[in-house]
A = this chain, B = another copy of it.
């Protein structure tokens, strides 16, 4: 057992996120390990580890599970790695080491690694990239390998995946005799960039570039491939490769389309490649897609993918609240993409969306104890209506586990690595994207600079930063002024700084010669805001959502009784926000005097001519959206009727 090497990942002291990290460490990771090993009573066996044992020759048997079952193992290792970075755990590390040794044994002599094809269809390798997730699984294992190497310094999995990548590079490429193709589920593209960064081997960067450039070209690879298989059926998604964003070359895609997780994984890789290569047309393509997603196809919770069919984007402004798909993984992918856009473009709007996703549409996917999960994150739930065939994807309560268990481990790896999303560095400019208690170190102007953030964010308005270079050191601290914040105050060493003068594209640029112990205090005022949706979002006409700071609120039946659509928020409603430490592990609760349709004298009749509605006054209670369904299950609503 070797000791864990801590990489440059901020140490999180933040109350809000530390709690989530502990949940991931203490609940999600151990539970998932049991699940991967088929030791959860009453749950359908995952068979994921057993598949590796069989492929490694250590067990006999058949392959079981989805064709992408290997990726569950990969995401687990990745989450473990991030967790070890902040919370060393020799026993867990040993378990991971043993698993990695097993993975090595399952690798074929030529470098190939995929238990489905090794066990079940060895002759069918690379014959159905469109549907079989071969490169997708490879990508997730590469991400795991890089994370594990970065955190522990151990190269074993990195070497395994480098060998696999080397082999893949002999199979795919522009050169004659190679397959001019790509995977039906993007993932390897961003993973290869990470592998390049970890190894310095440019071959991997070029292979990623090849996959991205090849995508959507005519004649279409998936057509050629299915013709070769003798498969004549039209593709199930409206006969269109929009599903996998291969309907057009990537630069010609102006609107987000198709399976939303595939989409944001691809956009992430595009942003990576644009940052590494400086390719202006690719930068432009990323920005165009970003504007489309965030200004036309995103829920206020940063949920994306409004259509259950294909778990997909729908079209501009089509954002139904009660049938939305808004997969947890899609919001997670949006965080990945946002982080990469920040490397491309010094604009706080990317961090605004990243923050919106982190405090709302991602963590809503897990209960506060890390034991139950939502795959789908709707903005309006009427439990009774979930029996409807067209709403059967909407669950009124989080589920213990899924047969397609993509979201829980994806959340685990996101939360375990939350520190990696706080800062972005461009030369001697340090951008603070997220506010949370942490300690971190940076190399700025040839010095090591220590930064300590203290805050009770997202509940409290004040963020204190202590900047400690080794000696006097000139650099720029660029503090994000969130898009949701209408009035911010900044003090440096006790002196107010006029934000207007120094703010550009959402960042306040504080350039000075810093000295050890310099104090920065940022106050982001957090009144309760009535949020309106763009008039083209017809679902939300006449409705308002409540937001305080980065947190989007909802109303629940447990606080407000049944029939939430009958609650109306008057135009002049006065809001009260108070922190309740005992509620939902500590949340700020919003209350307001609202009104509710008086149905007591209505009677039986379904329709009546009425000139004026009868209302009764009513005290509305709203809680953070992410924390819904942690008490009694019931109705939930984000967009509240106005009056």
Q: Is A228 an interface residue (CB 8 A)?
A: no
Contact flag A606-B534 (CB < 8 Å), given A314-B388, A388-B314, A541-B641: yes
| A597 to B536 Cα, complex, angstroms | 10
Q: Are A606 and B533 in contact (CB under 8 A)?
A: yes
Q: Are B534 and A609 in contact (CB under 8 A)?
A: no
Q: Are A532 and B610 in contact (CB under 8 A)?
A: yes
**Stretch in contact with the other chain, from A74-82, A179-187, A289-297, A462-470:** A289-297
Closest chain B residue to A612, Cβ basis: B571
CB within 8 A of A604: which of B291, B298, B538, B547?
B291
Q: Are B602 and A537 in contact (CB under 8 A)?
A: no
Question: Which residues on B sit within 8 Å (CB–CB) of A531?
Answer: 607-610
Cβ proximity bits A299-323 to B, threshold 8 Å, 1 near / 0 not: 0100000011110001100100001
Q: Which A510-549 residues sit within 8 Å CB-CB of chain B? A: 529-539, 541-542, 545, 547
Q: Using a CB–CB distance below 8 Å, which chain A residues touch chain B?
A: 291, 294-296, 298, 300, 307-310, 314-315, 318, 323, 382, 384-385, 387-390, 484, 486, 529-539, 541-542, 545, 547, 563-566, 568, 571, 597, 599, 602, 604-613, 641-643
Known: A535-B599, A541-B597. 4 other contacts (CB 8 A): A307-B390, A308-B389, A309-B388, A529-B609
Q: Are A547 and B609 in contact (CB under 8 A)?
A: yes
Closest chain B residue to A528, Cβ basis: B609
Q: Are A542 and B641 in contact (CB under 8 A)?
A: yes
| A643 to B609 Cα, complex, angstroms | 17
Q: Are B294 and A611 in contact (CB under 8 A)?
A: no
Contact flag A382-B538 (CB < 8 Å), given A532-B613, A609-B547: yes
Q: Which 4 A-B pairs have the closest CB atoms?
A: A309-B389, A535-B599, A529-B609, A538-B565
Q: Report the minimum CB–CB distance from A275 to chain B (whole Å).
A: 24
Question: Which residues on B sit within 8 Å (CB–CB) of A607?
Answer: 300, 531-534, 545
Q: Are A542 and B530 in contact (CB under 8 A)?
A: no
Question: Which residues on B sit within 8 Å (CB–CB) of A534?
Answer: 599, 602, 605-607
| A170 to B381 Cα, complex, angstroms | 53
Q: Are A535 and B602 in contact (CB under 8 A)?
A: yes
Q: Report the minimum CB–CB distance from A571 to chain B (whole Å).
A: 6
Question: Which residues on B sit within 8 Å (CB–CB) of A568?
Answer: 542
| A535 to B565 Cα, complex, angstroms | 9
Closest chain B residue to A291, Cβ basis: B604
Q: Are B541 and A390 in contact (CB under 8 A)?
A: no
Question: Which residues on B sit within 8 Å (CB–CB) of A539?
Answer: 565
Q: Are B307 and A389 in contact (CB under 8 A)?
A: yes
CB within 8 A of A542: which of B295, B387, B542?
B542
Q: Are A388 and B318 in contact (CB under 8 A)?
A: yes
| A291 to B604 Cα, complex, angstroms | 9
Question: Which residues on B sit within 8 Å (CB–CB) of A538?
Answer: 382, 563-566
Q: Are B537 and A608 in contact (CB under 8 A)?
A: no
Question: Which residues on B sit within 8 Å (CB–CB) of A545?
Answer: 607
Q: Report the minimum CB–CB distance from A122 to chain B (whole Å).
A: 35
Q: Report the minimum CB–CB distance from A613 to chain B (whole Å).
A: 7
A-B contact pairs, 7 of them (CB 8 A): A298-B606, A300-B606, A309-B388, A536-B563, A538-B565, A542-B568, A571-B611
